[in-house]
Amino acid sequence: MPRRYDPDRRRRIIDAAIRVVGEKGIAGLSHRSVAAEADVPLGSTTYHFATLDELLVAALRQANEGFAKVVAEHPALTDPRADLAGELARVLGRWLGGDRTGVELEYELYLAALRRPALRPVAAEWAGGVAELLSRRTDPVTARALVALMDGICLQVLLTDVPYDEEYARGVLARVIG
């Protein structure tokens, strides 16, 4: 049987891994569960990702694109007259008010780095990338503090079921910005 050309297979496998983690958590992730979800032969998952850590790294990179892209495309980063704290609070509100499953999944993958050292560089890339974007409007130390604060706000909302308070977020972000 001739081999079928399938240029999107790797991406479909990553998408399937994200869906599996979203439905079953990281504990439910296996090459077999991902192959079934992606509707590809088991050998395809192991061909593209020899280990589950490699697959998780790819999934985390793809999931991280979401928030970083929202921040990167926001005009407040290039307009020095824009209220950076207010705009970041608004972006967080949209992020947390959208598909919560996606936000939870991103944090589940992000926090998996605590137990899976292979994921730590990807988590650091995400934090560093967002801090670099914020450095367009502030100094690097403040940018890193803003990333930490936004992470903390997101985790509190996700873990406590307390509704997101945009005015509170704007106020504390403004304090850090100075």
H/E element holding 17? Answer: helix 9-24
Percent of the chain with pLDDT over 70: 96
Q: Residue 77: its pLDDT value, please?
A: 75
85 to 35, 112, 143, 165, 171: CA distances (angstroms): 43, 29, 12, 13, 7
Contacts of 68 (CB under 8 A, 6+ apart): 126, 129, 130, 133
What does pTM read for this prediction? Answer: 0.78
What average pLDDT does range 58-87 have in this prediction? 80
Q: Which of 13-27, 69-83, 107-121, 142-156 has the highest mean pLDDT?
A: 142-156
CA end-to-end span of the chain, whole Å? Answer: 65
Report the distance separating Cα 22 and Cα 100, nearest Å.
11
Confidence label for 170 from pLDDT (cuts 50, 70 and 90) = very high
Give the domains, in start order, of the chain with CATH numbers. Answer: 1-50 (1.10.10.60), 58-177 (1.10.357.10)
User: ∠ at Cα 89 (104, 114), nearest 5°?
Assistant: 35
Q: Are 89 and 165 in contact (CB under 8 A)?
A: no
Percent of the chain with pLDDT over 90: 45
Report the distance separating Cα 64 and Cα 128, nearest Å.
12
Confidence label for 1 from pLDDT (cuts 50, 70 and 90) = very low
7 to 4, 90, 126: CA distances (angstroms): 10, 37, 26
Across 148-174, b (16+ Cβ under 10 Å) vs e yields ebbeebbeebbeeeeebebeebbebbe
